[in-house]
Chain A
Amino acid sequence: EAGVVQSPRYKIIEKKQPVAFWCNPISGHNTLYWYLQNLGQGPELLIRYENEEAVDDSQLPKDRFSAERLKGVDSTLKIQPAELGDSAVYLCASSSGQGAYTDTQYFGPGTRLTVL
């Protein structure tokens, strides 16, 4: 079974430029998560979707970050404009079920963003 797919794996941009990351969850997983991981830190949740609905976006900096999951399958996370401090790894994860706290989350390989 294919795991969580993310692209691109690496992205280098200049500050103030826009950037977008794409995630395709494991087939059949209706819950999708975007996390941010800074160097030397654990991942931090940005947004969680159940199907196409964003049910927890409290940690998403909405002035510059946006996300969508229009058909309840794949998802895009966008930053516009990017800042130097956005350099990090952006991880996507998915889980089956309805987001119960016992669900196992499976992570994709992440997109490593460098903002110059």
Chain B
Amino acid sequence: RKEVEQDPGPFNVPEGATVAFNCTYSNSASQSFFWYRQDCRKEPKLLMSVYSSGNEDGRFTAQLNRASQYISLLIRDSKLSDSATYLCVVNTRGATNKLIFGTGTLLAVQP
């Protein structure tokens, strides 16, 4: 079983749609959680950190459920420019700053 699991997609949605990505992680010792965005043939870039209380950044909302070891990302009012791969990432205590990446979920926003 992979340490971080995501639906690979692709998710094809029309502009303006709301889309949700889900991720599960297997190591209960995981301490910090992130969503990275990776454009085609580009490097991953930090989109947002994920906190237990949930956090929002404009159209993006991230949630963490430690009991279920589940992370989510919600994108509201999708834009064409949101098309990318969204990588769920966890960092485990005891392996300082070792990021474990999921395989990523490909989002294609259609006009």
Q: Residues of A at under 8 Å CB distance from B?
A: 31, 40-45, 48, 56, 91, 95, 99-110, 112
| Residue of B whose beta carbon sits closest to that of A40 | B103
Complexed CA–CA distance, A40 and B101 (Å): 12
Can you offer 29 A-B residue contacts whose CB atoms are under 8 A?
Answer: A31-B97, A40-B103, A41-B101, A41-B103, A41-B104, A42-B87, A42-B89, A42-B103, A43-B99, A44-B101, A45-B99, A48-B98, A56-B95, A91-B43, A91-B44, A99-B96, A99-B97, A100-B96, A101-B92, A101-B93, A101-B97, A102-B32, A103-B97, A104-B46, A105-B46, A105-B97, A106-B46, A107-B45, A112-B41
Complexed CA–CA distance, A38 and B104 (Å): 12
Measured CB to CB, the closest approach of chain A to B66, in angstroms, equals: 15
Label chain A's interface by main secondary structure: loop
Assess whether A43 is in contact with B8, with CB atoms less than 8 Å apart: no
Assess whether B44 is in contact with A48, with CB atoms less than 8 Å apart: no
Complexed CA–CA distance, A109 and B45 (Å): 10
Assess whether B43 is in contact with A107, with CB atoms less than 8 Å apart: yes
Nearest first, the 9 closest Cβ-Cβ pairs linking A and B are: A42-B101, A107-B43, A101-B91, A99-B97, A99-B96, A101-B97, A101-B32, A43-B101, A107-B44
Assess whether B43 is in contact with A100, with CB atoms less than 8 Å apart: no
| Residue of B whose beta carbon sits closest to that of A110 | B43
Instruction: Using A41-B104, A42-B102, A107-B45 as known contacts, list a sample of 15 further A-B pairs with CB atoms less than 8 Å apart, ordered by residue number in A.
Output: A31-B97, A40-B103, A40-B104, A42-B4, A42-B101, A43-B101, A45-B99, A91-B44, A99-B97, A100-B96, A101-B32, A101-B93, A103-B97, A109-B42, A112-B41
| Residue of B whose beta carbon sits closest to that of A92 | B43
Assess whether B96 is in contact with A101, with CB atoms less than 8 Å apart: yes
A-B contacts, CB under 8 A, total: 53
B52 within 8 A of A: no
Assess whether B101 is in contact with A101, with CB atoms less than 8 Å apart: no
The 0/1 profile, CB within 8 Å of A marked 1, for residues 74-106 of chain B is: 000000000000010101110111110111100
Complexed CA–CA distance, A104 and B91 (Å): 11
| Residue of A whose beta carbon sits closest to that of B101 | A42
Which of B43, B46, B103 is in CB contact (< 8 Å) with A109?
B43
